[in-house]
Amino acid sequence: MKNRSNVILEEYDNIKEDKLNYDDYVGKGAAFIVTPTNAGQIFSRENLSEDHELIESSAKEFGVKRILPVNEELNKLNKDLTFDIFREVGELGFLGIDIPEEYGGSMLDKVTACLVIEGLCSGKNASINVTISAHSGIATLPIVWYGNEDQKKKYLPKMASGEWMGCYALTEPNAGSDAMAGEMSARLNDEKTHYLLNGQKIYITNGSWSDVCVTFAKVDGGKYTAFIVDKDCPGWSTGEEEHKMGIKGSSTTTLYFEDCKVPVENVLGKVGQGGAIAFNGLYVGRYKLGAATAAGSKSAIKEALDFANDREQFNRSISKFGMLQKKFADMVIRAWEADTIVYMTAGSIDKFLNNVPHDEKYFDVLQKSIEDHAIEASIAKIIGSEALWKNVDDGVQILGGAGYIEEYGFAVLYRDERINRIFEGTNEVNRLIIGGYTLKKSILEELPIRNMINQCKTTSWVNRVEMDNVELQESCNIVEFSRSVVLFTLDELILKYGQDFKNEQWVLEPFADMVICLSLMDTGFKRVRQLDVNSEKYKNMKLVMDACVYLRFSELINHSKDIIRNIDRSGSPLMQKLNNELNDLVIEKDIISLKQEIANVLYNKKEYFLD
């Protein structure tokens, strides 16, 4: 009898070619893998409504006028000031963006949630932003999505207003990325009125300040279950504040549960449903973190440029030196990539939800849509956090010795940014998600990936797309070639490993990076394609997009070659196939000239110029 893996592999080899209707994949997760450059629409900042812009402006104003003046005070633990600002954010409605109106929120779209996060980042304080984001995201959403009516009425209004602060307690001493290995236990008491929780959770943001905690424990030793714990539950205590590398103004503690009595009515969702509850909230946290880090990567550009324009060496401003101009160009490209992927992701989820009625099934559909966009959420988290990391690092280098001095601000940024590659799932775990979900969508035919692979095998290896705008043709050709390389590489990996590919991390990681590269090229291209070709924004953004396409293409090809060399060591006919196709691709882009032009525009605008 054939095992399931062999059956799936045989089905995979017998792909049927069907005509594709790309409109069917609008609002679907990972649609960028299959949707050609001349099809589909993506959401970007250019699609913001007046309401979007008004809310973003309000959040920015609060950041600049309220948070920025007390920035230094918020860089150390200051509970009273933090709570004052936290409640003011609640009064403005920013804590309730994802909470339904009947529970004190506004239930606005996912794009708005990202705009609020980015707007508050204008206050340039990571600590207060982490406090707010942890509360309004992973601490609140599980109750919104899985809470029953009584739970929602009890907790959400006070969480929306800022009267109560929430935390999300998942990590344990022996369970970090492997969250399901958690050992905290929950036992029903003899009276069957309360669960008794025993264990500890570590590194909990808002831990010592929270009134409400969403946490997880194994019922009867095996059923992973979510609970709402509040200050009325005896047996819940907090440890000392952790002495952290960065985000020093936020609370991070260990939580101790010692026969903590949690009423049975505080079980969140169903007993045994804790895994889904734990992970679904993290998907949202990832693209929201992408919004925050994209904002920070833009801000770092202006901070470094202001210094470079004032600093003189060898009788001229250091901003005139080519090596620093290259750094600034790279900073713009990274920030633009992060911004583009975040709003594409949020906009795609919103697009899918537009026609979903707000009935009792709405949150079930919403969760499925968000999980469907797991690849995009992980990409947004990775690209945003790595853009901020590299932009801050470049900023320190541009400032030189001043970058190492506390008063100039980059030292704080340097410490604060490091956490972003760790929480909401490490970037390594997120790369596993990207590779694993791409495999899943292919094998289960959630997207027509197998169909497109078959077209590559039987017709043209590269989809030939003709653009009306000839200025975009070369980048279009590169993006479509890259799409074929991703499909070609995925095909060979599946044929080599089958479903075990998801466990082959040496090749899964570079393949995930290929998917990331394709997402940035494809999404960036479509963003530019949608612009008015006569506008200044089109001219400026096309420079950045062309540079992104060139750089990410080079990275993608290198990853593909590394994988092919590893899985085909018999003289490499696969490598020969790839090289033959590469020889037919014409690339005339001059990356040095592109970066010079990007730097020139930045110097004229004096700040990031593509919002």
Helices 374-399 + 505-529 axis angle, to 10: 80
Q: If you average pLDDT over residues 478-494, what whole number do you get? A: 95
pLDDT digits (tens, 9 = 90+) for 301-337: 999 999 999 999 999 999 999 999 999 999 999 999 9
Q: Please, which pLDDT band fits residue 281 given cuts at 50, 70 and 90? A: confident
What pLDDT is recorded for position 575? Answer: 86
Out of 53-67, 90-104, 276-290, least confident range:
276-290
Q: Are strands 223-230 and 252-263 parallel, antiparallel or unpaired?
A: unpaired
How far is residue 609's CA from residue 555's CA, in Å, rounded to a whole number? Answer: 26
Higher pLDDT, 391 or 579: 391
Which among 118, 424, 474, 492 is annotated as catalytic? 424
For residue 420, CA distances in Å to 123, 167, 172 come to 18, 18, 19
Taking residue 581's Cβ as centre, other Cβ atoms within 10 Å add up to 16
Q: What percent of the chain has pLDDT over 90?
A: 85
User: Domain 1-39+273-611, what architecture?
Assistant: Up-down Bundle (1.20)
Which residues sit opposite 237 in a β-bridge?
256
CA distances from 136 to 58, 99, 171, 182, 574 (A): 18, 9, 19, 24, 49
Contacting residues for 55 by C-beta, under 8 A, at least 6 apart? 108, 112, 115, 116, 119
Catalytic site residue 258?
A: no
Do residues 297 and 333 lie in contact, with contact meaning Cβ atoms separated by under 8 Å? no
Residue 504 exposed, middle or buried by CB count within 10 Å (0-12, 13-18, 19+): middle
Domain boundaries, the chain: 1-39+273-611, 46-165, 167-272
For residue range 553-567, list pLDDT tens digits in order: 999 999 999 999 998
What percent of the chain shows pLDDT beyond 70? 96
Rounded (5°) CA angle 134-137-139: 70
Q: How many CB atoms lie within 10 A of CB 161?
A: 16
Q: What's the pLDDT score for residue 2? A: 53
82-91, 146-155, 169-178, 228-237, range with the lowest pLDDT: 169-178
Residue 61: which of 115, 101, 106 has the closest Cα?
Answer: 115
pLDDT at 10: 56
Pairwise pLDDT comparison (207 vs 175), residue with the higher score: 207
406-415 pLDDT tens trace: 988 999 999 9
Q: What tens digit of pLDDT does each residue of 107-154 get?
A: 999 999 999 999 999 999 999 999 999 999 999 999 999 999 999 999
Average pLDDT on 508-528 reads 98
Whole-number average pLDDT of the chain: 93
Residue 550 has pLDDT above 70, yes or no: yes
What is the predicted pLDDT for the residue at 21? Answer: 82
Over 50: is that where the pLDDT of 274 sits?
yes
Residue 173 has pLDDT above 60, yes or no: yes
pLDDT at 1: 45
The separation between the first and the last C-alpha atoms of the chain, rounded to the nearest angstrom, is 58
Cα–Cα distance list, 189 to 92, 151, 224, 255 (Å):
42, 21, 18, 22
How would residue 171 be classed by pLDDT, with cut points 50, 70 and 90?
very high
Which tens digits make up the pLDDT trace of 389-408? 999 999 999 999 999 999 88
Band (462; pLDDT cuts 50, 70, 90): confident
The token pair that represents 561 in the structure block:
């070659």
Asked if residue 126 lies in contact with residue 65, where contact means CB atoms within 8 angstroms, the answer is: no
Report the topology of domain 46-165: Butyryl-Coa Dehydrogenase, subunit A; domain 1 (1.10.540)
* Position 16 pLDDT exceeds 50: no
Residue 396 identity: V
| CA–CA distance, 82 with 128 (Å, rounded to integer) | 7
Distance CA 53, CA 230 (A): 37
Q: Is the per-residue pLDDT at 606 higher than 80?
A: yes
pLDDT band at 570 (very low <50, low <70, confident <90, very high): low
Q: What is the pLDDT of residues 423-434, one digit of tens each?
A: 999 999 999 999
User: Would you tell me which CATH number, out of the four given (3.40.50.12780, 2.40.110.10, 3.40.228.10, 3.30.1330.10), belongs to the domain 167-272?
Assistant: 2.40.110.10
Q: Which tokens is 597 given?
A: 């032009």
Q: Tell me, what's the pLDDT at 311?
A: 95
The pLDDT assigned to 15 comes to 44
The residue-averaged pLDDT of 193-213 equals 97
| pLDDT at position 17 | 45
> Residues 180-197: pLDDT tens digits?
888 999 999 999 999 999
> Are the beta carbons of 186 and 219 closer than 8 angstroms?
yes
pLDDT classification of 492: cutoffs 50, 70, 90 = very high
User: What per-residue confidence (pLDDT) applies to 24?
Assistant: 83
- In whole angstroms, give the CA distance from residue 162 to residue 154: 14
